[in-house]
């Protein structure tokens, strides 16, 4: 008896699910395609420009206060049968040299990015292959400010510490010799 009832239910479902397809509804609105924007600049670091370059964001790229900005240095280009392959390193990039330590670094606002060369010795003594014709890739990554924790004011020290442990600095270390 149970088998007969089960068989009738299964057959009823199969019959109920068949038939002509209904009319196709109207096309929905276009989706949002949010991509980061990237552009490249060539920079010379000299004492004339205080070993820094302020790069304005192109006018066709809208940057918001909450957006993340990353800068990458073209460290090397390696040959390949399909064509050269660019090797990009995130800033900051640190160089350990016979005279001391130098680094490429950056800071930014929503208007521009400042790429600079810093060191603990006279940067004029750096070889030209580090100071001149350096190519950087600047990436603007769309982002919104995160919502504040609903009970932020009442968090204890341990809870606040757990919220703050989400940031990890990543320093790229380079060793250059003349």
Report yes or no: 97 and 176 within 8 Å, Cβ to Cβ.
yes
pLDDT in tens, 73-112: 999 999 999 999 999 999 999 989 888 999 999 999 989 9
Enumerate the β-bridge partners of residue 105. 116
Instruction: Classify 25 as helix, strand or coil.
Output: coil
- Global pTM reads 0.65
Strand order in the sheet with 37-43: 37-43, 134-141, 68-78, 85-90
CA distance 51 to 49: 5
pLDDT in tens, 31-72: 666 778 899 999 999 999 999 999 999 998 888 888 889 999
Tokens 């209904």 map to which residue?
Answer: 22
Total Cβ atoms within 10 A of residue 90: 14
CA distance 52 to 45: 6
């Amino acid at each position: 008896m149970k088998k007969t009832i089960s068989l009738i239910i299964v057959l009823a479902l199969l019959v109920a699910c068949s038939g002509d397809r209904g009319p196709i509804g109207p096309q929905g609105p276009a989706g949002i395609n949010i991509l980061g924007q990237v552009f490249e600049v060539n920079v010379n670091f000299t004492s004339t420009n205080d070993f820094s370059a302020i790069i304005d964001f192109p006018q066709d790229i809208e940057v918001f206060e909450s957006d993340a900005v990353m800068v990458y240095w073209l460290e090397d280009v390696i040959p390949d049968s399909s064509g050269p392959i660019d090797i990009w390193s995130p800033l900051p990039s640190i160089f350990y040299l016979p005279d001391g330590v130098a680094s490429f670094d950056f800071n930014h606002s929503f208007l521009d990015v400042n790429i600079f060369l810093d060191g603990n010795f006279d940067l004029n003594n750096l070889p030209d292959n580090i100071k001149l014709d350096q190519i950087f890739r600047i990436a603007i990554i769309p982002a919104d400010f995160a919502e504040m924790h609903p009970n932020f004011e009442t968090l204890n020290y341990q809870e606040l510490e757990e919220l703050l442990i989400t940031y990890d600095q990543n320093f790229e270390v380079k060793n250059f010799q003349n």
